[in-house]
Amino acid sequence: MKSVSKYPLYWEKDNFSIKIFCSIPNIATGILLKAGPSYFIIDPGDGILRDLSKEIGTKSILNISDVFVSHGHHDHVGGVWSLLTYLRVMNKKSPLSIYFPKGCIEIVSIYNAFKKVYSKTISYKIILQELKQTNKFKRKSVLIKPFPVVHKEYLHDGIKTRLVPSFGYSFTYQGKKICYGGDTAYCEELAANAKNSDLAIIEAGHDEDTPDDMHMTLAEAKSIGETAKDYFLVHVPE
């Protein structure tokens, strides 16, 4: 394990790299994946534009082709509006695909509001990719495998919970595999996908010893991370 919450976290093998600008529960997550010349964003939380402009420069942000959203909580999608608007202001021409789990109402709502506000002045095509299944697919020479994870949120009473549509994703490029679990309680899908990956990015959002249905404890997260060749623990409460 390289670090717990010392951001940014960076990993690179050959032409495949990932930079986690931050991943702080209830605040923000923001991740840039580079595969050769291609740029993907994973979980564009608040601050993503600032971090991207610092990392790759304001112009290169236009080259981002794909955005992967693990789930709709604000700390994972808070930067989507500003990203979409920035790309419009900067006159992006190439399309942008946004992948998200079916039922993630936040992404659909942000998209609809954006289309409504800017109607005919959007310079680029936004392709919403609502993932209903977890079949593998390829984008820009990267093989992507979405997988369901188990993440919940509290209802108004603060006691009852409900499941949130949530995915983790693994990304494989030139034989190297990065597994990102998103927010999740301990689940077999994540354990299976993280195993033997070159890098596993595992949340450890639960700071007590009693496991719950929302996040993993450090011990649970480590037990999954250690099955990968290398791992980062993220989303640790600060």
Q: How far apart are CA 209 and CA 196, in angstroms?
A: 27
User: Nearest distance from residue 182's CB to Zn ion, in Å?
Assistant: 8
Q: Which is nearer to Zn ion, 104 or 142 (CB)?
A: 104
Nearest to 148 by CA among 207, 192, 90: 192
Cβ distance 18 to 198 under 8 Å? Answer: no
Site of interaction with Zn ion (CB under 5 A): 25, 73, 75, 183
Q: SS3 of 93, please?
A: coil
User: Nearest distance from residue 225's CB to Zn ion, in Å?
Assistant: 18
Q: 187: which strand partners?
A: none
User: Nearest distance from residue 60's CB to Zn ion, in Å?
Assistant: 27
HEC sequence for 120-145: HHCCCCEEEEEECCCCCEEECCEEEE
User: Nearest distance from residue 127's CB to Zn ion, in Å?
Assistant: 24
Q: Which is nearer to Zn ion, 19 or 206 (CB)?
A: 206
- Which tokens hold the place of 111? 């998209």
Q: Which is nearer to Zn ion, 70 or 170 (CB)?
A: 70
Q: Which is nearer to Zn ion, 30 or 35 (CB)?
A: 30
User: Nearest distance from residue 183's CB to Zn ion, in Å?
Assistant: 4
Q: Which is nearer to Zn ion, 25 or 168 (CB)?
A: 25
The single-letter code of the amino acid at 122 is: I
Q: How far apart are CA 60 and CA 37, in angstroms?
A: 11
Cβ distance 180 to 202 under 8 Å? Answer: no
- Which tokens hold the place of 78? 């808070």
